[in-house]
């Protein structure tokens, strides 16, 4: 399967700032192009890679307008590398947006007796039926508990709740930022990954895009590790964003099947 993805961002920077973009696909074999400009002049960001393999493009800019244009073509299917024991421990811990310790009583009651792929399907279905997908309904600071109480959210909120419930049941779980062919409306997308049966598998309680078509951008404990833009220093405003992701074929997604993310 071939996927073609792109992102176009326009920013206004009021004072000197450091910008960190996470928009490049994690697959270093992909054919790609990144163009970053300040007031029309080319910028040359520093690329750094975090412990999870996410590629971060960092640049210091003065006040002015900043544009980013990114495009990549990804071929074939694949999966995440085998997890180390340290990773598995890290993704069992509660994190900023995934309060697994507080979710433990609910998780133990709702999913008693389930494990492996049955547990992933059960959690995905449970979250999907209890939340309404409502764009703009959540705050950037909302975690899994607030999402559950509100009964609504967007993709990252669904993923945080899935992750929190799975960690509460001693299943390593993490968040992946992805390009998602078939997503409507198109945007960056967030899904959960859970480590069962010896590998990482995708859980997307929104069911808005086929999991086998997704393309990994970033991986982390939760959205704090995977934001497409972080800024430090002066005030930065996102003036426009356009994301595209298409595949040469959109496969049927059996939500009970185990699917690995490229």
Instruction: Report the pLDDT value the prediction gives residue 80, as an integer from 0 to 100.
Output: 61
Model confidence at 83, pLDDT cuts 50, 70, 90, reads: confident
Q: What is the CATH number of domain 85-225?
A: 3.10.620.30
**CATH class (in words) of the domain with range 2-76+228-246:** mainly beta
What is the pLDDT averaged over residues 147-167?
98
Rounded Cα distance between 38 and 10, Å, is 10
Instruction: Report the pLDDT value the prediction gives residue 89, as an integer from 0 to 100.
Output: 96
Residues 155 and 129: beta-carbon distance below 8 Å: no
Structure confidence by residue, pLDDT tens digits, 7-47 = 999 999 999 999 999 999 998 888 999 999 999 999 999 99
- The chain-wide mean pLDDT, for the chain, equals 95
Domain boundaries along the sequence of the chain: 2-76+228-246, 85-225
Residue by residue, DSSP assigns 67-136 as EEEEEEEEES---PPPPPHHHHHHTTS-BTTB-HHHHHHHHHHHTTT--HHHHHHHHHHHHHHH-EE-TT
Tell me the pTM.
0.95
**DSSP secondary structure code for residue 228 in this structure:** S
pLDDT > 60? residue 78: no
Of 179, 181, 199, 201, the closest CA to residue 190 belongs to 179
Of 54, 80, 76, 71, the closest CA to residue 230 belongs to 54
Region of 39 on the Ramachandran plot (φ > 0 left; ψ -120 to 50 alpha; else beta): left
Instruction: Report the pLDDT value the prediction gives residue 82, as an integer from 0 to 100.
Output: 76
Instruction: Report the pLDDT value the prediction gives residue 251, as an integer from 0 to 100.
Output: 86
What is the pLDDT averaged over residues 113-124?
96
Instruction: Report the pLDDT value the prediction gives residue 255, as an integer from 0 to 100.
Output: 82
Structure confidence by residue, pLDDT tens digits, 202-242 = 999 999 999 999 999 999 999 999 999 999 999 999 999 99
């Amino acid at each position: 399967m071939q996927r073609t993805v792109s992102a176009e961002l326009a920013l206004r920077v009021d004072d000197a700032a450091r910008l960190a973009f996470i928009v490049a696909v994690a697959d270093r074999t992909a054919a790609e192009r990144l163009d970053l400009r300040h007031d029309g002049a080319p910028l040359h960001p520093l690329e750094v890679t975090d412990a999870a393999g996410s590629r971060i493009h960092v640049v210091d800019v003065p006040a002015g307008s900043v544009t980013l244009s990114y495009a990549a073509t990804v071929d074939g299917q694949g999966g995440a590398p085998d997890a180390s024991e340290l990773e598995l421990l890290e993704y069992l811990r509660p994190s900023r947006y995934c309060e697994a310790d507080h979710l433990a009583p609910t998780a133990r009651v709702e999913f008693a007796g389930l494990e492996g792929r049955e547990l992933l399907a059960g959690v995905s279905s449970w979250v999907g039926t209890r939340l309404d997908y409502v764009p703009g309904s959540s705050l950037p600071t909302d975690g899994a508990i607030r999402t559950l109480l509100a009964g609504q959210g967007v993709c990252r909120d669904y993923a945080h709740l899935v992750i929190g419930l799975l960690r509460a049941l001693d299943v390593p779980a993490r968040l992946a930022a992805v390009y998602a062919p078939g997503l409507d409306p198109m945007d960056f997308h967030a899904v959960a990954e859970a480590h069962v049966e010896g590998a990482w598998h995708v859980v997307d309680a929104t069911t808005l895009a086929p999991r086998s078509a997704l393309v990994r951008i970033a991986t982390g404990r939760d959205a704090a590790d995977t934001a497409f833009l972080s800024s430090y220093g002066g005030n930065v405003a996102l003036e426009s964003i356009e994301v595209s992701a298409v595949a040469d074929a959109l496969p049927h997604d059996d939500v009970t099947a185990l699917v690995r993310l490229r």
